[in-house]
Structure 1
Amino acid sequence: MIYKEFGHTGEKTSLIGCGGMRFRKEEYENDLDKCADVVLHAYRRGINYFDSAPLYCGDHSLDIFKRAISQMDRSKIYITSKASPENTGEKTQDDMLRSIENSIKRLGVDYIDFFHLWCVLDFDMFVRYEKMGMLKAMMKAKERGLIKHINISTHASGKDIEKMLETGYFEGVLLNYNATNFIYRQEGLAAAKRLGIGVITMNPLGGGLIPRNPEFFSFLKEAADDTVAKAAIRFNASHPEINVVLAGVSCKEEVDQAVNAIENLRPVTADQLDNIKKHLTSHFNSMCTLCDYCKGCPAGIPVSKFMDTYNQYMINGNDVSAMDNQLVNLWDIPHTLAGSCLKCGACERKCTQHLPIIKRLQEIYEKMEAYHNK
């Protein structure tokens, strides 16, 4: 395992981190110990950075990590959690402090190493949270020893990330960065390096988009790569500015894949970046990552599944048959569900990627209707 200095914090984190959002539903609903065993396997492979949050995996993620942490040397690991008004409902400073205390209790620890202001979509949202006192609450928690470092988790543009980091609140930033969208995050990454702020990247596999389309993303592979997933993880890890690449794991094999991806790691070169850029279009900054924050549609629409279907439509050159294949053979849902949209906008307000979900649902419905009635 490779370990790197995390910004100016004095901490030394593993280059691969264990993400707690992708455990298998049938396992986290029925066998938390099996999920915890995956986390313990990550620990044994040298991973020391463990990322979780309330609500992940049906609100079981913190409980999974608690079971695993109880069998680890606490002094050798870094634990994270998150909170924000949009996700966990805090309205006051006291609410935020209670959320921090709740994460500590559920994780079975005395403190949290890195606590994130969660899922900040843009600079305007950051300003709103600041005015609500969320940052003051986190600073109080740090003074009380409840948390060691204040981080931000964001899906914002590179320019907005730069503005948020320049406020001076944060010691680390968790951002959505991978081989499909990196050109839109470069300003944020450069700002973090300039300011001495640690960088954690999420979604190195594009929410599963990359491994589900191995032929399309074959341009990522080098001679040593046997899979595009390994190539995508190595791509993130090879950036000197990045301290931790979060791998959302569901089994031991995925842990091993992530750890093995950084063997014989070399810094990414300008030629490699230029080659990857040649294969990218603006579509890649507007793809669903299947985070599923949009769930809870009042019309019962499985929004993220339809948005993943739209991903396939874009990747395959606007081929409607690709949408049909995705809906029928992967998700097993009727296209007519997309026509049930109430246009209430609830999903769009929660979308981390700022996707035009209502428009895409309508487009899916209309194109699939025409496809089946031709």
Structure 2
Amino acid sequence: MTRVKVGVVGVGVMGLYHALQYLRLPEVELVGVCDNSAERLAIVTSQLRVPGWRDYRELVGRVDVVSLAVPTSLHYPLALDLLRSGIHLLVEKPITTTVEEAEELAELSQRLGLVLQVGHIMRFYPSVRELPSLVRQPVCLQARRMGPNGRVTDIGVILDLMIHDIDIILGLTDSEIEVLHVVGAGRRGLEDFAQAQIGFRSGCLATLTASRLSQTVVRTLEITQPGEVIWVDFGDERDQDFVIHRGSSTDYAVSDGGRAYRTHSRTTVERVSMHRENPLRLELAHFIGRVRGLVEPIATMEDDLKALRLAVRMQREMHLVEVPRLQVPQLWKAGGRA
């Protein structure tokens, strides 16, 4: 089997994670990595024992595919250049900061017959892949994605974190949006906290909260539908069990002349265990499988554009409160979490 030749452009936290996982895929040869920081490049190439270049164009002619993990503001120009050079691309989310740029990249990749995949790693979490089989008629969805995260500074928290939950919820609702209300807080036009309420034509209401200011890492989704509540914690990518509360009912307490009547609930609690796999490795293996023509995409480019369109709309319609510089203690060092 001829191995697919891969390069990684941008070897910060996420890019290094990509490179490490590529080294674990037998069908891949990691040709080298690129980063504009000579110091960072020296550290990573020494760790990985692969060649490194400061100019990403050095990969042209050497590789078949590239993982692009540079700051979001650089996604469009680098992706455009690499696609024109005939290289298949996996671009970390968000693919671009504007819908127009994303649409141009999508059209170009299709015209050139190249794979362009957006790095929505949550799609490869075992629990997210199982959700469509469990969610039938959602009435209320509550997503929270919070934590001290200083890795991304060139985009707001909606494009940085909330877009994960936007993508998940749009995949579960399949309904037009009738009401959208978004508030945020941040500095210099970039929100570090945002909360969105979405009312769908189906009657479902979704509330999404994202924050880079919290000192507690929270990655949860709660789904209420007739007869049950589904709860999942995404905080540990290797432990993705569902907790499902079914058939809940309550006898309400009343007071009559000082006499109190007890309340009690009758609920069946079921825990659904998921198969443990590394989601980034699954994502990269899927990408390579698409390049080799062995698998169909689990999501289309239109799915990616749909999530980006809503995220950009949220930013445009958001009521943003400018706040003074926040001195948030960094009690937890940011890692490679989504």
Q: TM-score range by the shorter chain?
A: 0.3 to 0.5
Question: Whose RCO is larger (CA < 8 A, sep 6+)?
Answer: 2
TM-score, with structure 2 as normaliser: 0.35
TM-score, with structure 1 as normaliser: 0.32
- Of Structure 1 and Structure 2, the greater strand share is in 2
- Of Structure 1 and Structure 2, the greater helix share is in 1
Q: Which has the larger radius of gyration?
A: 2
